[in-house]
Amino acid sequence: MPDISLMDKISSLCKRRGFIFQSSEIYGGLANTWDYGPLGAELKRNVKNLWWKSVVQERMDMVGLDSAILMHPAVWKASGHVDGFTDPLIDCKECKKRFRLDNLKDTPDRDVKECPACKAKIDLRLNPARMFNLMMKTSLGAVEDESAVTYLRPETAQGIFVNFLNILDTTRKKLPFGVAQIGKSFRNEITPGNSTFRTREFEQMEIEYFVRPEEDQKWYEAWINDRFNWYIKCGINKDNLRLRVHEKDELAHYAKACSDIEYNFPFGWSELEGIANRTDFDLRQHEEHSGKELVYFDTAENKKIRPYIIEPSGGVDRATLAFLIDAYHEEKVKEETRVVLKFSKDLAPIKVAVLPLLKNRPQIVGMAKDIAENLMSEIRVVYDDTAAIGKLYRRQDEVGTLFCVTVDVGSLEDNKVTVRDRDTMLQDRVDVSRLKEYLRDRLK
C-alpha cells in the first residue's frame, strides 16, 4: 500500500535540514528540479564513493571513465536515440495537461482513455498520441544553424562505447573487463515527479562490462547478484528490494535480457537500477557509423571478437532517495517521538557531532572546538552549540549522525568526554587522548 504521508514527512525533513531544496526557490522554483543542500551533497557523495569503491577500486577487471556530456551528434544517430528515444505523448484538450500515453486510465473502449488529472474522456482516434523525443537539444557555438545542433546526453553509456578502443589501448585489459562512469544525464521527461525520483536532469552510475558472447548469461546473472547485494550492503532492508525480470515484449530492441532492481518507495515499487544484456548492438552500430572497427583481438586464439555488453545502470538520485527513505525511523522514547535516520556508517553524511554541554563556559566551548578540529582531518565532524543538549541530540539523530561527543564540566577535570551512539543511545566515557582511536574503531 503506497504511503504518501511518509513521502511528505521525508520531503519536509529534507528541506528543513538541508538535504534537498527546490531549485531556484527565490524565483518561485523550477518545477521538478532539485538542489542538494549541505547534508544532501555529503550523502550523495557518499553514495557515489561507495559505488566507485565497490565497482572500480575493489575489482581488477574494472576501470573508470569521465567522458563529456556533449558528444558528436553522430553518436546519437548511431545509438538510435535520434530516431527511437521517444515516448508517446497525449495532450488533454480539457485541462491542457500533457501525459505519457501509458499514464492515461483505461476505459471499456480501448480507443478511449481517461485523463488522470481532470477525468475527461480522450478519444485516441480524434486525439492520437504524438511521438516526443526525450533528448534535450542544444546548440554549440555562436551560429545557431542546424550544423551546430547537438544534445545533452540522455545516458552516460555512449561515452564508454565510443572510448572502447582508447580504453583497450591504454589499459591492455583482457576480456572480460568493464568500464564504470558517474555523470549527469538529461531527459525531457513528460511526467517528472515524486521528488528526485524522476527529473529532467539527473546523475547516473553506469557500467559497461565487455564479455565473450558465449559467456553473456553468466556475467548477466553475476552482475544482477552483485548489484542487488550492494544495496543491501549499503544498508537497505532487503524486504524493500525486489528483482523484476522484463518480459520479452518489454525489452528494448537492442537488449537480449533485462532485469530491474526495484525499491518499495512510498509511492509504490519502482526501478532503482536496470541490468541489461545489450549484446554487441552498440559496438556494431558505432562501427557502422564511424567506420572504425570496434573489436577485441584475442592473442591466444589469434582472432577478433566483438564483445557482448552487460550494462548495470543505476541512478544516483534514485539510490540517494531510497537510502533516505529506508533510513527514516520514528521511535517512541519516553512518550516522545524520536526521528532518526539510520544510515549505514559509510553513508551517514556526518559521522560525529561535537557538542559543548554549556555554551557560555569558554573553557568547555574551547575544549569542544579543539576536539572537533583535531578530528576534522580524518572524520566528517560538525560542531554545534546553538541549543540545549537534548535538542542538539535530536537534531543530530534526525540527520543520521553516528556519534555525539559531549564536553561537560567534568571533562575539564578528568579530560574525558561522553560519546553517545545514535542507534542504542548508550553513552561511553572516553579519554580525549584515546578519542580518535576509539571513533576510528567504531567507524570501521
Residues contributing to the site for ligand ATP (CB under 6 A): 155, 187, 189, 198-199, 202, 204, 271-274, 313-315, 317-318
CA 78 → CA 161, 256, 287, distances in Å? 11, 19, 9
DSSP 301: T
Give residue for cell 577535570: 413
Return the exposure string of 94-120: e unless at least 16 CB atoms fall within 10 Å of the residue's CB, then b: eeeeebebeebeeeeeeeebebeeeee
Element (H, E) at 242: strand 241-245
Least CB distance from residue 55 to ligand ATP, whole Å?
A: 15
Q: What is the DSSP track for 191-219?
A: S-BTTTTB-SEEEEEEEEEEE-GGGHHHH
In degrees, rounded to 5, the angle at the alpha carbon of residue 102 between the alpha carbons of residues 113 and 324 is: 130
Question: CB-based burial of residue 12 (10 Å sphere; 0-12 exposed, 13-18 middle, 19+ buried)?
Answer: exposed
At 309, the amino acid letter reads I
**Cβ-based neighbours of 433, under 8 Å, separated by 6 or more:** 415
Select 154 or 356, whichever has its Cβ closest to ligand ATP: 154
Least CB distance from residue 257 to ligand ATP, whole Å?
A: 13
Residue nearest to ligand ATP (CB): 315
The cell for 269 is 515499487
Least CB distance from residue 153 to ligand ATP, whole Å?
A: 12
DSSP 70: B
Least CB distance from residue 56 to ligand ATP, whole Å?
A: 18
Helix H segments across 344-387?
362-376
Contact 56, 63 (CB under 8 A): yes
Select 42 or 260, whichever has its Cβ closest to ligand ATP: 260
Least CB distance from residue 370 to ligand ATP, whole Å?
A: 43
Select 74 or 190, whichever has its Cβ closest to ligand ATP: 190
**Cα Rg for the chain, rounded, in angstroms?**
26
The cell for 1 is 500500500
Least CB distance from residue 272 to ligand ATP, whole Å?
A: 6
Q: Distance (Å, rounded) from C-alpha 138 to C-alpha 70?
A: 9
Least CB distance from residue 315 to ligand ATP, whole Å?
A: 2
Residues forming beta bridges with residue 403, ordered by sequence position: 352, 421
Select 187 or 286, whichever has its Cβ closest to ligand ATP: 187
Least CB distance from residue 344 to ligand ATP, whole Å?
A: 20
Phi and psi at residue 48, to the nearest 5°: -65, -40
Least CB distance from residue 44 to ligand ATP, whole Å?
A: 13
Give residue for cell 582511536: 437
Least CB distance from residue 261 to ligand ATP, whole Å?
A: 8
Select 318 or 395, whichever has its Cβ closest to ligand ATP: 318
